[in-house]
Amino acid sequence: MHPLDISLCMIVKNEVEHLENCLNSVRSLVSEIIVGDTGSEDGSIDIAHRFGARVVPVKWEQDFAKARNAVLEKASCSWILVLDADENAADWDIAEVEKLLSDTSVYGYYIQMISYVGESESREFITDSVCRLFRNDPQIRFCGRIHEEVSQSILKLPGSPLLFSKLKIDHYGYLKSEIDRKDKAHRNQSIIKEALREAPQDVMLQYALATEYFQIEEYEEAADILLSLLDTIDVGPGYVSDIYLKTAFSLYMLGKDDHASEVIKKGLSHYADFSDLYELQASLLLRQGRTLDAYKTLQTSLRLGDVSTIYSSSSGCGTYRTHYLAGRICESLLNFEEASEHYERALSFRPDYLPAWGEFVALELLMGRSFRLTNFLAKHLNSMNQKQISILVPSVLNSRAKELLKFLLFESECGRLPLPPLLNILYLFQNDEDEHACHKLRALMRESSADQKLVGYLWAAAWKRLDMMDARNLAGLHARGPLASIQQKLEGENKQIPSSSDILLVLQMFIQVGAWKAIVELYRHLGSKLRWTNIPLPLLSGLSQAPINIKKELCGVYENLRSETPSKNKMVDFTELLVFTWLAQSCGIILNVPDSITTFSDHFTAYVGNAYRQIAQASFYHPLPFKVPELRLILRAFYSSGST
């Protein structure tokens, strides 16, 4: 298919990092490429020439519209496409574009701009609609020294409709690395402020300056300008909805909740289908403690869905991000089934969305539903990235989800999932095939003698079979490391308290290999320094698989500690009370702790902790006529409540 009757018009300066990708994205679409160079000193001009571009020098006068219009003058095709070097045409179909150009009644098209923000690997973005494809007409020109636009000149033409298209442009210029590299914030503010001295009442310039402040998180300055605009501007143009959103968000970030609520309410009266405003309203309600109202508001945002073709919106609003937030709220309301559904729905929109993935993995493992994770993995295994695997694998090992681990190992053997050989060895340990596991572990050590982690697992395995001589010898290989320190502590030879990170590392190895007796000894020697409230919940889930006698011993240590040295931290007291209430319940006993531990304090954790202890005691004597969530899920809700 021949190129279309389109001139690509660009202005560039030192864009060697991006220009080739940009031109590659449109080389089969356009008939000519005109590059206005404003002073490149790298290889940008060479790249342009390689693509057959006509390069024209353009004097830079701190005016983007003037520079763009100088390039438009050189265009010879019937239509003009405008791109920047850090933009790509996102998989444009040449037949679809040809159909747009064939409509003789249309003078220009809005294209959805997808601007990636933050760090590049996060894949977060904001959207906007910009007119970048329009007829080559001398009356159609850009205006605005910065954040220049061409749509106003089209709308002034009689009978010249400007329509929305389904085309998309990927824009990488708002990534943090690009903003820092080009010092865009300083450059743009300088241009806008100079322009405002000439036209202080120009609404678009004021909006542009507020946007620059907003992007660098100077919310006080952004809010001052945006609020003044809301007092004077008419509802209608597309950017007005963005003014409401940016104003409300700035006020929210400044902690001015009442004022933010007023702006959101007014914005929704004009833009009732703007899902981003509903999501922000939910965040406000949540901060005010109105959890149920926040959840209902998020459900409205979800019903509206993705509105990025209508409004300037942020990635995931109305879809995966909103489902994730709804899941977090459901957990705080102890509605774990619905929370899991929200996380899974979030992943259906974006399977690699790490916040939802982490919560989905943890919650399903805590609920003992590894089959749902297996089903999800079976569907999305080919798209799994290393970060997802790095979240999944430790959680599976810590929670001792053996069936899921077996599935992962099978997929690894088939070459569909890259997993280290250590996982196969840990699977053997979790099935109590210790001799075979140790043999393979020592063989692996001979291949990777520098891997200290392998020594650690051999040491944990020695504790599992209570071979103290082997444990001492292996710990000696870490003369100044955590194994040696904790080995000495376990043998009563070290009065110093190991760091919490060292304790967690060792506890993880003990649970993964099933060194249950060592965990009891660790708790006996560390006492209240081993804070079970600091233990990741997948590890507590793995601990639930310990033999009944081990769980009884752990509860006995806890009872003695609470009798001898009551904690001064009541919140820690109540959360740890939940941990051991759960352990006691799982092995059919009740806790014997002083009444002072269960004295009510004015906090929901205390009330719930005490209530569940009493429920557990009641169920010990007689089956209850109602079902309550497992305590480890209640623990998860407490652990998560600070971040929802």
Spatial distance between the Cα atoms of 617 and 338, rounded to a whole number of angstroms:
28
Q: Which residues contact 269 (CB under 8 A, 6 or more apart)?
A: none
Domain made up of 1-174: CATH architecture: Alpha-Beta Complex (3.90)
Q: Which CATH number fits domain 183-318: 2.60.40.1220, 2.40.30.10, 1.25.40.10, 3.30.420.40?
A: 1.25.40.10
Residues sharing a CB contact under 8 Å with residue 585, sequence separation 6 or more, in sequence order: 616, 619, 620, 631
| pLDDT of 184 above 90 | no
pLDDT level of residue 32 (50, 70, 90 thresholds): very high
Inter-axis angle of helices 452-464 and 422-430, nearest 10: 10
More confident residue, 496 or 287: 287
Q: Specify the higher pLDDT residue, 55 or 237.
A: 55
Q: Is the pLDDT of residue 466 over 60?
A: yes
What is the rounded distance in angstroms from the CA atom of residue 384 to the CA atom of residue 310?
Answer: 32
Question: Which contacts qualify for 88-91: CB closer than 8 Å, 24 or more apart?
Answer: 88/21, 88/22, 88/25, 88/169, 88/170, 89/25, 89/26, 89/29, 89/167, 89/169, 90/25, 90/114, 90/167, 90/168, 90/169, 90/170, 91/168
- Using pLDDT thresholds of 50, 70 and 90, give the confidence band for residue 440: very high
DSSP 104: T
Least confident stretch, 7-16, 22-31, 62-71, 528-537: 528-537
- Side-chain half-sphere CA neighbours of 546 within 13 A: 30
Any idea which residue has 């990235």 for tokens?
385
Q: What percent of the chain has pLDDT over 90?
A: 60
- Please tell me the least confidently modeled range out of 13-17, 212-216, 275-279, 477-481: 477-481
| Per-residue pLDDT, 576 | 80
Task: Give the number of other Cβ atoms within 10 Å of residue 416's Cβ.
Answer: 13
SS3 166: strand
Helix (H) or strand (E) holding 616: helix 604-621
In this structure, what token pair is assigned to residue 92?
């444009």
What CA–CA distance (Å, rounded) separates 443 from 436?
11
Q: Which of 262, 335, 306 is nearest to 112 (CA)?
A: 306
CA-CA-CA-CA torsion sign (136, 140, 144, 148): negative
Closest C-alpha to 400, from 434, 426, 439: 426
Per-residue confidence (pLDDT) for residue 124, from 0 to 100 = 87
Q: Which of 54-63, 363-372, 492-501 has the lowest mean pLDDT?
A: 492-501
Helical H runs in 381-514? 386-398, 402-413, 422-430, 434-447, 452-464, 468-476, 482-490, 500-513
Provide the pLDDT confidence category of residue 364 given band limits of 50, 70 and 90. Answer: very high
Confidence of residue 644 (pLDDT cuts 50, 70, 90): very low
Residue of higher predicted confidence among 622 and 254? 254
In whole angstroms, give the CA distance from residue 408 to residue 427: 11
Contact 63, 40 (CB under 8 A): no
Q: Please determine, for residue 30, whether its predicted confidence score (pLDDT) is greater than 90.
A: yes
**pLDDT value at residue 639:** 63
The rounded distance, in Å, linking the Cα atoms of 249 and 284 is: 10
Query: CA neighbours within 13 Å on the CB side: how many for 194?
Result: 12
Instruction: Please tell me the distance from the alpha carbon of residue 129 to that of residue 383, in angstroms, as a whole number.
Output: 30
Are 279 and 259 in contact by the 8 Å Cβ rule? The answer is no
Query: Could you read off the pLDDT of 113-132 as tens digits, one per residue?
Result: 999 988 877 788 999 889 99
- Which two tokens mark 442? 């020592």
SS3 state of residue 414: coil
Tally helices (H) and strands (E) across the chain. 31, 8
Most confident of 110-119, 441-450, 458-467, 553-562: 458-467
The average confidence (pLDDT) of the chain is 89
Looking at 1-10, 408-417, 611-620, which range is the least confident one? 611-620
CATH number given to 320-398? 1.25.40
Helix axes 631-640, 320-332, angle to 10 degrees: 120
> Does position 480 have pLDDT exceeding 70, yes or no?
no
Alpha-carbon separation of residue 357 from 111, 341, 514, 564, 579 (angstroms): 32, 12, 27, 42, 25
CA distances for 544 relative to 77, 219, 400, 407, 580, angstroms: 72, 48, 10, 22, 11
Orientation angle between helical segments 402-413 and 386-398, nearest 10 degrees:
140
Tokens of residue 155, six digits: 């709308």
SS3 content of the chain, % helix, strand, coil (to 5): 60, 10, 30
DSSP codes joined into one string, 530-580: S-GGGS-HHHHHHHTTS-HHHHHHHHHHHHHHHHHS--S-HHHHHHHHHHH
Beta strands in 225-323 (DSSP E): none
- pLDDT-derived band at 629 (thresholds 50, 70, 90) equals low
Contacts of 479 (CB under 8 A, 6+ apart): none
CA distance 294 to 389: 32
Running DSSP on this structure, what letter comes out for residue 316?
A: T
pLDDT of residue 432: 95
360 DSSP assignment? H
Lowest mean pLDDT among 179-183, 461-465, 598-602: 598-602
* Residue 193 near residue 209 (C-beta atoms within 8 A): yes
